Structure 1
Amino acid sequence: MSVFAEVVLTGSFVGAARRFGLTASGVSRKISRFEERLGVRLFNRTTRALSLTEAGEALFERCEGILQSIDDAESAVRDLSGNPRGILRVAASDAFSMHVIVPFLKTFSQNFPDLSITLMQADGGINLLGERIDVAILFAKPDENSFIIRKLIDDPWVVCASPDYLEQHGTPALPSELSEHRCLTIHARGTTNDQWKFGTDGKIETIFIESNFSGIGLTVKKAALQGMGVARLAHFLVSDDLAAGRLKPLLMNNVIQDDRAIFAVYPNRQHLPSKSRVFIDGLSNYIEKTLIVPAPTMKTDDTKLCPQPDSATK
């Protein structure tokens, strides 16, 4: 059942094989024996695609909860040893994974050698339950109320450009002047972040951006560093470049904190596995020590700006 579920989640026998240390043919044989025992086909197989049959969909809907219960039971027993172990599935954007999580894991993995971390790409959104995520790092609270949400730190947007670009094209003094500049926007999973909010004379205004280039945060940052235009990027992603002068912050008097923060999100379980707890606690401490976040110039809601690193809310 675990192999079957992993084939569904990864979309291939090869992906499930990597997860369990098997060969693709070994996974195929397991699925075939499973189908023979059940007396139904679980997958429609072609040379190019793999899809669930109606029976496969019905089984997957039911086995998710079963496998989660098994994992919770095993985690509870492992926790008795006082040494977190097993596989921890963490979802985060590529940018956050590269700039924050991977450096954090250098020490974390030394402290918890029996934990294996699987980083999953979450640019543009992710299905926490469907993809069996233990911890997701998000920049906005999910709409579902079946998760625990822990705010790690505020992370405001930073509008910025390279010194070379500003020397050639000038520095915008007002948000409305962005229409006269080449702009770069973040695009992930079919959605383009082309509506930038600013505060002007105590009022919030939304500027619609016509971009000359769009991509995930890492590519937009690279484009900004090369002088291709003005970008709006997460503070954690550009903090080092701002400190080194490779990028210059713009429109600081118009920046607002629009509930933009870094959140750790995880399933609402009766028993939080120690592997998840030590990861979240360790990451929170690491972020507090390494990310220095500037105070927002304009607040949209004072109650949203108070960091609560030690609290968890549904």
Structure 2
Amino acid sequence: MKHDHLRILLEVARHGTFSTVARQRNVDPSSISRVVQSAERELGVRLFQRSTRQVVLTEAGDAYLSHVSRLLEELDAASNSVREFAQRPKGTLRVTASVAFGQACVVPLLPEFLARYPEIRIELILADGNLDMLTERIDLAVRLSPHMGNDVVRVKWFDASYRICASPDYLRRHGAIQCPEDLRSHKCVLFGLPNHQSEWWITGQSSRAQHIEVVGAAIVSNGLAQRALTLAGVGPALMPIWLINDDLAAGRLVDVLPDCAAVPADFDGGAWLLYPGRTFLPAKTRTIVDFLLSKAKQQGSPQEGKGA
């Protein structure tokens, strides 16, 4: 039986007439009568005694509608509770990011977010592999690539710049890197993604992009490990500025081609917010997306301005 029909039965019991219920619902009284008759046929009992002036519950009707009333109250409470997730930021928010990127760019913003929205609980999953957003119930993925299937919404968070760096000790031992072609004779510390490993696009003052193939002394799957090996003098590396800005400022790393811009081949060079679908987006997801976008608008990359 339809929920609205159950509500009509309760309204008839409360008002004692079909006409009053019909008037309040702006329908013909015969439609209210048909709802009552249909319910009685379905249940096999008479719910109301009718007279020309009044409609009165039978004993069976009173027993039935007492249960219905409680059930509808619980249903209304459940519906209101669920609607709050769409209307008010609350509940558990599952967010994923890569380990290095999450620690550098996401974690520093969470205290302010959690203080502003105390009814939200964050579950932050730092993983360098791309988690399946559906099976892992991920509300928001913060990634350095927008390529994560066709069933997600992609919003650019900020543009991430990259630098080619080496430690001062490495440069003392192996000599300065004065132009992009010099990289071909060095063993680099590479990030373990396809193409990212061995192909870099480098643009100099001429604005002409050069495709440089590099070889690796080490290939790693984590930005923090790449940074650590580069600091230890293993070789040059192409790394995002948010990861190494403080090291450049302190002189622990040297930007070997300061007049050149560089990106890994087939890589976007931006930070992206990805979430499943626009329809019925929970308030908690909409809130953190808006929050992160506002922070990027205020201060650019979360790491820009630190250090140098």
Using the size of structure 2 for normalisation, the TM-score is 0.64
Whose Rg is larger? 2
TM alignment of 1:94-105, pairs within 5 A: 94-105=99-110
Q: Deviations over 1:166-215 (max 9, x none)?
A: 22222211112112223101126x88622111125543232222111121
Choose which of 216, 220, 230 in structure 2 pairs with 1:224: 230
Mapped partners of 1:151, 1:96: distance in 2? 15
Q: Is the 8 A contact 1:192 1:214 kept in 2?
A: no
Mapped partners of 1:123, 1:278: distance in 2? 25
Choose which of 58, 81, 85 in structure 2 pairs with 1:78: 85
Q: Is the 8 A contact 1:183 1:230 kept in 2?
A: yes
Q: CA deviation at 1:127?
A: 2.3
Q: 1:176 to 1:279 in 2, by over 3 A?
A: same
Q: Is the 8 A contact 2:186 2:215 kept in 1?
A: no
Q: CA deviation at 1:124?
A: 4.1
Mapped partners of 2:130, 2:244: distance in 1? 22
Which letter does structure 2 place at the counterpart of 1:241? Answer: D
Mapped partners of 1:192, 1:284: distance in 2? 27
Q: CA deviation at 1:256?
A: 4.3
Percent identity of paired positions between Structure 1 and Structure 2: 32
Q: Deviations over 1:111-154 (max 9, x none)?
A: 22222211223424332233221111111222634322111111
Q: 1:165 to 1:268 in 2, by over 3 A?
A: same
Q: CA deviation at 1:229?
A: 1.4
Choose which of 261, 274, 291 in structure 1 pairs with 2:270: 261
190-199 vs 98-107, greater mean Cα deviation: 190-199
Structure 1: tracts of 5 or more residues without a match: 1-71, 294-314
TM alignment of 1:4-83, pairs within 5 A: 76-80=83-87, 82=88
TM alignment of 1:269-284, pairs within 5 A: 269-284=278-293
Which letter does structure 1 place at the counterpart of 2:203? Answer: G
1:234 corresponds to 2:234: no
Aligned length: 220
Q: CA deviation at 1:283?
A: 2.4
Mapped partners of 1:140, 1:74: distance in 2? 36
**Structure 1 stretches of at least 4 aligned residues deviating more than 3 Å after TM superposition:** 72-76, 200-203, 256-259, 285-288
Which letter does structure 1 place at the counterpart of 2:252? Answer: R
